Amino acid sequence: MTQAPFAPLASGPLAGLDLLRISISGPVVHLRLMRPEKRNAISDPLIRQIHTAFVNLPAGTRAAVISGEGEHFCAGLDLSELAERDAGDGLLHSRMWHAAFDQIQFGTVPVVAALHGAVVGGGLELASACHVRVAARSTYYGLPEGQRGLFVGGGGSVRIPRLIGVARMTDMMLTGRVYDAEEGQAAGLSQYLVDDGEALGRAMELAQRIAGNAPLSNYAVMHALPRIADQSQADGLLTESLMAAVAESTDDAKNRMRAFLEKRAGKVARS
C-alpha cells in the first residue's frame, strides 16, 4: 500500500511540542518521541506533551501512530528526575502518567504503536496503553522497576496483565526477565511482528485501515470492549447490547450495510 507522505504541523496547539515530532497524513497523525539521546526516556515535560498531544489531536484525525526516534522505542521513566521525590509527589507523578496514558487508551481515536529496540519500564506501559502494537524484530521488553527499587506507576499493573497475564508480568518484574520480539509476540505483547525497519510502515497501513472504519465502531471497540471485560457477564451483555444498538443506528452503519448488500463494499478477505 502506498502511503501519502507525512506533512509536519506548522501551527496549532501541537506545533510547539518540542519533545514530540507530530505529522499528519490524511486521517492519521504520527507522533514520534524525540529524545533519542536519552533513549526516549519519559521526563515530566515529555509526559505532559504526550497528554497535550492526545487531548488536542487535529479535527479529522481518525487514527494515530506512535513511534520512537533513534535506536529504541522508549527507555521508560527518566530516572534522573526521581532523586528527590517524596511519597506525595510520587503519587501525583504517577497520576500524571495515568492521565496521559488514559488519554491514549480512552481518547478519541485508536492508536497503533510501532515498536523497536528497548520497550522497557514506562515504555512498555506506554505501548500497552495503545490499541494495536507492531513490533520490529529488534524489539525487546523488560520491566526493570524491581531492579531499580520501584514499582510500575504508569498503568502497567492494570494494562500489562491484561495482555500477558499476571504470572508473566510477575516473572518479568521479579527476575528481570527480558522478552525478545518473538517471545513478546507469542505472549501477546505485540499483535504484529515485522522485519526491522518495517514497523512504522506496517503501523501506518493499519492506522489507515482503522481510519476507514465507522468512527462510532472504533469508539465502541476502544471504550466499550475493555470495560465489558471488567464487568460481570450480565452487565457486559447489557453494555454490549446498548453499544450495538447505538452503533447500528447511525447513518454510517446503514450506508455501509447497504453498500455491502448492493455489492459495492469489499468482502472479508485474508490479508
Nearest approach, Cβ of residue 157 and ligand 1HE (Å):
10
Q: Assess 82 for contact with ligand 1HE (CB under 6 A).
A: no
Tell me the residue type at 211.
A
Tell me the residue type at 232.
S
Going by C-alpha positions, the residue among 119, 28, 37 that lies closest to residue 73 is: 119
- Cell 490499541 belongs to 131
71, 89, 180, 230: residue in contact with ligand 1HE (rule CB under 6 A): 71
Q: Assess 122 for contact with ligand 1HE (CB under 6 A).
A: yes
Edge-to-edge strands, sheet with 118-120? 118-120, 140-142, 179-180
Tally of CB atoms within 10 A around 32: 20
Q: Assess 72 for contact with ligand 1HE (CB under 6 A).
A: yes
Nearest approach, Cβ of residue 173 and ligand 1HE (Å):
10
14, 109, 112, 120: residue in contact with ligand 1HE (rule CB under 6 A): 120
2, 11, 80, 233: residue in contact with ligand 1HE (rule CB under 6 A): 80
Q: At 174, which helix (H) or strand (E)? A: helix 166-175
Select 147 or 241, whichever has its Cβ closest to ligand 1HE. Answer: 147
Taking a C-beta distance cutoff of 8 angstroms, is the pair 200, 114 a contact? yes
Stretch near ligand 1HE under the rule CB under 6 A, chosen from 74-82, 165-173, 226-234, 247-255: 74-82
Report CA-CA distances (Å) from 133 to 3, 9, 114, 129, 163.
19, 25, 6, 10, 11
Q: Assess 131 for contact with ligand 1HE (CB under 6 A).
A: no
17, 153, 172, 247: residue in contact with ligand 1HE (rule CB under 6 A): 153
Distance, in Å, from the CA atom of 89 to the CA atom of 80, rounded to the nearest integer, reads 15
Strands 7-8 vs 20-25: parallel, antiparallel or unpaired: antiparallel
φ, ψ of residue 115 in degrees (nearest 5) = -105, 145
Q: Assess 232 for contact with ligand 1HE (CB under 6 A).
A: no
Catalytic residue ranges: 125, 145
Nearest approach, Cβ of residue 21 and ligand 1HE (Å):
19
Site string for ligand 1HE, 28-67 (x = CB under 6 A): ----------xx-x--------------------------
- Cell 450480565 belongs to 234
Residues near ligand 1HE (CB under 6 A) are: 38-39, 41, 71-72, 75-80, 94, 97, 118, 120-122, 144-145, 148, 150, 152-154
